[in-house]
Copies of this chain bind each other. A is one copy, B any other.
Amino acid sequence: MFDRIALIGLGLIGSSLAHASKRGKLAKHIAGHAKSAATRQAALTIGFADSVHATVAEAVKEADLVILCVPVGACGAVAAQMAAHLKPGAIVTDVGSVKAAVLRDVGAHLPASVHFIPGHPIAGTEQSGPESGFAELFDARWCILTPPVGANADAVEKLRAFWQAVGSKVEIMTADHHDLVLAITSHLPHLIAFNIVGTAAHLEEVTDSEVIKYSAGGFRDFTRIAASDPVMWRDVFLNNREAVLEMLGRFSEDLSVLQRAIRWGDGEQLEAMFARAREIRRGIIAAGQDTAAPDFGRRK
């Protein structure tokens, strides 16, 4: 499908894309770049990259598909480093969790001779680093592409075909709508998870070891997503500030209603709110984005 794919960043997503590209025989050559020499060496040892490069400029040379797999906040600087070295006609994309900021930061640097089409696979685990990747990560998950107005239709279709070939289903929407949808389905959940883990850690009356010991009561479900990469998530919140604050405001309003129902002992309202939440869960299972199995459908 491509002669040469360049992956800038070789963490969970970058390494998984390499594994999935090899599985599907999607590239003759996979070139990788990571800032850390240890990560570059790991990519060669594990074998998911055919070559590794100490600079972004070298890595992107002759590539017809360049994928930025770095935290959202680093995308602008990486784009500046690659701009003069990109092959004319190359497709440049990314995997960041925020799209309007990437469109702005990366778009500002790239020449008109390449096709920049931002993307975001809705897939991941709480693990990070080059050892955490696996070929199946994107199977049956959604990938959202947010081509800017006037994007080359052939390039969009080629990128769609690539994501389908690594196992994903593809949806296209505007960057702004993406950022709003993800603010509620991903960014706010992570923020809440980080927050409750912090609250639990600061209690005087309950020890940390008690929190850990009895975490199977619900708390551990939150800690899993709170274990996600801190730098990646810092950048998400800095770059999708408005949508996250909007969702957080609504969340806090709703929480005040629940809080009052508890304070007033309004059992009827509590039960009705909880029953509605259960219905949403059933919708997710019916849509195939999770399973009813106690393992959460994570083991395939």
Contact = CB atoms under 8 A, between A and B. Distances in A.
Interface of A: 73, 97, 122-127, 141-142, 144, 171, 177, 180-182, 184-203, 205-206, 208-228, 230-231, 233-235, 237-238, 241, 244-245, 247-248, 250-252, 254-255, 258-259, 262-263, 265, 267, 270-271, 273-278, 280-284, 287, 289-290, 292-296, 298-299
Mostly, the A contact residues are helix
Number of copies: 2
A206 to B, nearest CB: 5
B224 A290 contact: yes
A185 B259 contact: no
Contacts of A274: 194, 226, 228, 230, 233-234
Contacts of A190: 218
Nearest to A268: B234
A184 B202 CA distance: 11
Contacts of A299: 293-295, 299
A122 B224 contact: no
Contacts of A197: 276-277, 280-281
A7 B198 CA distance: 39
Contacts of A241: 262-263, 265
A227 B281 contact: yes
B185 A215 contact: yes
A233 B187 CA distance: 26
12 contacts: A190-B218, A191-B262, A192-B255, A194-B274, A199-B250, A220-B284, A221-B221, A223-B280, A226-B277, A230-B275, A238-B267, A295-B296
A68 B221 CA distance: 27
B238 A270 contact: yes
Contacts of A210: 181, 185
B195 A251 contact: yes
Nearest to A256: B252
Q: Identify which of A142, A177, A281 gathers the most chain B CB atoms within 10 Å of its CB.
A: A281
Contact of A218 (B193, B216, B265): B193
Q: Identify which of A196, A252, A298 gathers the most chain B CB atoms within 10 Å of its CB.
A: A196
B276 A262 contact: no
A169 to B, nearest CB: 9
Contacts of A295: 295-296, 298-299
